[in-house]
């Protein structure tokens, strides 16, 4: 802990040398996950702060600030004196006060080897109009944590949950704090009723009436020495302020039992609040045991929750209007309409809880609790894809991922970065996609993934092994030496080194099985293997054609 604090102090000393605001146009930010992407309340801009990157050997943390201009599709880096220390898994919330304020709370800093963690409990505000950072020092706030959730609700910031991990132990939280944006004071809430169990990484959204919704999340408990029990939560709660504002400190928890089609169990999903009183979640991962290792099923789907109707439903791409009309005339369109009506009229069924346990190689027991409130639509979706001969599968979509960064502006959802895994390798992304949620017609690629930015160093690799195994591609030795030099310099930037383009062929081959698995999961168990492979290759081609 002392070593980490010294390292953080060293970085802050470097940051303190910045004395003026410098804004410069730049290429898209380097790959990262667990940062924050926020929409400017007055301008057509998105603000990216912080995040992390892991290349198999070293963990990089960031505290840089980037601004994405929506109209110009361009990035700028904004260097502001005295920023918050480097971090990831923090929370950010924007309020429109005084030209816009970006509030940052908590998060974590990791040692370069990723084995030690420092959890922040500091609160910062970025004044967007004046481009100044300010640390708000107020007692009585939450303890240090990451993986928590924070939303702006009326004139308060509401913080819920999260976790704290040390070398010896960990703890998950279900406490609730409110920060008053007028008095700049913290208060710990003591809601009545039965609330959510401790968790991190949940979905949290504020309603127009000033209540807060909590869904899902992840937690683990130590059941005996060296054995942890993990739980993917799928329950849902409402935190409501009672007394219509007369007693601001009086809150109550109640459990929600929504209708519709709930998201499949997952962790690492990203959240945003969309138009028409709908919150949404995107992507995530569901870990499953396969033989001697745990394989993650990554998602790129969207689920909407209608706050007014208390109903979940999956987001379905409609395709461009002109193509849709040609493709879905006659019986298909009638059948779809009938299916939609039937789904709307179907009476809600009683919730059924399904509990599964998966034991990992290291002894971790994963408990997956899923509450089913109505029949799913998997069959009709797979049939539709078969009928349309894979047309929708070949549409542009973000690749499946977890821990991406989301922002909403003018009813358009923006998805940046995140990561997915292939075997033991983690691929961190730097692409940017958008989709108009009013139309739900198609995804647009704003920034493509750069395969040159992909890098993975095996833990056990020595210099000799790297020469033998990877040096054959050429240029590796120089890149590794340049990496060592940058580490020794301890400079301001922590951008990872870039891989040569030739390595992309190896990267593509390693991901082929991933795409086949994804195609099979979308097409259903009855799909012929030949067609599954064909669709998988079409998906790969659509995703990589501009970078191969």
| Tens-binned pLDDT, residue by residue, of the chain (548 aa) | 557 777 777 777 777 777 799 999 999 999 999 999 999 999 999 999 999 999 888 999 999 999 999 999 999 999 999 999 999 999 999 999 999 999 999 999 988 887 788 999 999 999 999 999 999 999 999 999 999 999 999 899 999 999 998 877 899 999 999 999 999 999 999 999 999 999 999 999 999 889 999 999 999 888 887 777 889 999 999 999 886 554 456 899 999 999 999 999 999 999 999 888 899 999 999 987 554 556 788 999 999 999 999 999 999 998 776 554 555 455 555 555 555 444 444 444 445 555 555 454 445 555 545 444 444 444 444 444 455 545 555 678 999 999 999 999 999 999 999 999 887 888 999 999 999 999 999 999 999 987 777 778 876 543 433 333 332 333 333 333 333 333 333 334 444 444 443 444 445 545 666 677 777 777 877 888 778 878 877 776 666 554 43
State the pLDDT at residue 477.
31
In-domain check, residue 529: yes
Q: How many domains does the chain have?
A: 2
Instruction: Answer with the one of 98, 120, 137 that is the final residue of a domain.
Output: 137
**CATH number of the domain bearing residue 101:** 2.120.10.80
Instruction: Answer with the one of 104, 137, 170 that is the final residue of a domain.
Output: 137
In-domain check, residue 530: yes
In-domain check, residue 123: yes
Helix-, strand-, coil-residue percentages of the chain, each rounded to 5: 20, 40, 40
In-domain check, residue 520: yes
In-domain check, residue 365: no
State the pLDDT at residue 452.
73
In-domain check, residue 11: yes
CA dist 136 to 41, 47, 178, 368, Å? 21, 20, 14, 39
Strands ordered across the beta sheet of 405-409: 405-409, 412-422, 425-436, 443-447
In-domain check, residue 86: yes
Burial class (CB in 10 A: 0-12, 13-18, 19+), 497: middle
Domain of residue 13 covers 1-137
Pairing between strand 365-372 and 227-241? Answer: parallel
Instruction: Answer with the one of 82, 104, 137 that is the final residue of a domain.
Output: 137
Residue in 147, 31, 87, 93 with CA at minimum distance from that of residue 418: 31
State the pLDDT at residue 497.
43
Judge whether 150 and 91 are in contact, CB under 8 Å.
yes
In-domain check, residue 100: yes
């Amino acid at each position: 802990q002392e070593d980490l604090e010294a390292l953080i102090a060293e970085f802050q000393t470097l940051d303190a040398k910045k004395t003026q605001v410098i804004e410069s146009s730049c290429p898209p930010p380097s790959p990262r996950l667990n940062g924050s992407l926020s929409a400017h309340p007055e301008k057509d801009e998105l603000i990216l702060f912080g995040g992390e990157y892991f290349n198999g050997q070293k963990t990089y943390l960031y505290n840089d600030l980037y601004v994405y201009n929506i109209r110009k599709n361009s990035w700028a880096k904004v260097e502001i004196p005295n920023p918050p220390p480097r971090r990831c898994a923090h929370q950010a919330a924007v309020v429109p006060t005084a030209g816009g304020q970006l509030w940052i709370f908590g998060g974590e800093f990791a040692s370069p080897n990723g084995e030690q963690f420092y959890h922040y409990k500091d609160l910062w505000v970025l004044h967007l109009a004046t481009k100044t950072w300010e640390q708000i020092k107020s007692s009585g706030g939450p303890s240090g944590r990451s993986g928590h959730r924070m939303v702006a609700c009326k004139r308060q910031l509401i913080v819920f949950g999260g976790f704290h991990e040390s070398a010896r132990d960990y703890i998950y939280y279900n406490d609730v704090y409110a920060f008053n944006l007028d008095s700049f004071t913290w208060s710990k809430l003591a809601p009545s009723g039965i609330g959510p169990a401790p968790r991190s990484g949940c979905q949290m959204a504020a309603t127009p009436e000033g209540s807060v919704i909590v869904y899902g999340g992840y937690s683990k408990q130590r059941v005996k020495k060296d054995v942890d029990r993990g739980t993917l939560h799928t329950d849902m709660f409402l935190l409501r302020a009672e007394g219509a504002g007369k007693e601001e400190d009086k809150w109550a928890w109640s459990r929600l039992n929504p209708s519709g089609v709930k998201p499949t169990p997952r962790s690492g999903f990203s959240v945003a609040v969309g138009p028409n009183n709908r919150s949404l979640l995107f992507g995530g991962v569901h870990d499953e045991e396969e033989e001697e290792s745990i394989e993650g099923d990554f998602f790129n789907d969207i689920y909407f929750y209608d706050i007014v109707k208390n109903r979940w439903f999956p987001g379905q791409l409609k395709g461009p209007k002109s193509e849709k009309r040609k493709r879905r005339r006659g019986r298909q369109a009638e059948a779809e309409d009938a299916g939609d009506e039937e789904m709307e009229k179907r009476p809600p069924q009683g919730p059924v809880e399904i509990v599964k346990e998966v034991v990992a190689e290291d002894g971790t027991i994963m408990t997956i609790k899923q509450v089913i409130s109505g029949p799913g639509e998997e069959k009709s979706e797979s049939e539709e894809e078969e009928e349309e001969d894979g047309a929708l599968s070949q549409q542009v979509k973000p690749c499946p991922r977890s821990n991406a960064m989301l922002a909403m502006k003018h009813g358009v959802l923006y998805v940046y970065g995140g990561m997915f895994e292939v075997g033991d390798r983690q691929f961190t992304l730097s692409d940017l996609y958008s989709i108009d949620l009013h139309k739900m017609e198609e995804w647009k690629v704003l920034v493509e993934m750069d395969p040159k930015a992909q890098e993975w160093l095996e833990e056990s690799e020595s210099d000799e092994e790297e020469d033998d195994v990877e040096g054959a591609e050429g240029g590796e030795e120089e890149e590794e030496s340049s990496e060592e030099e940058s580490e020794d310099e301890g400079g301001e930037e922590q951008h990872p080194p870039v891989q040569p383009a030739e390595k992309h062929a190896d990267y593509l081959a390693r991901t082929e099985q991933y795409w086949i698995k994804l195609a099979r999961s979308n097409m259903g168990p009855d799909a012929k293997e030949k067609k599954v492979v064909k669709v998988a290759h079409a998906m790969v081609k659509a995703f990589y054609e501009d970078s191969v």
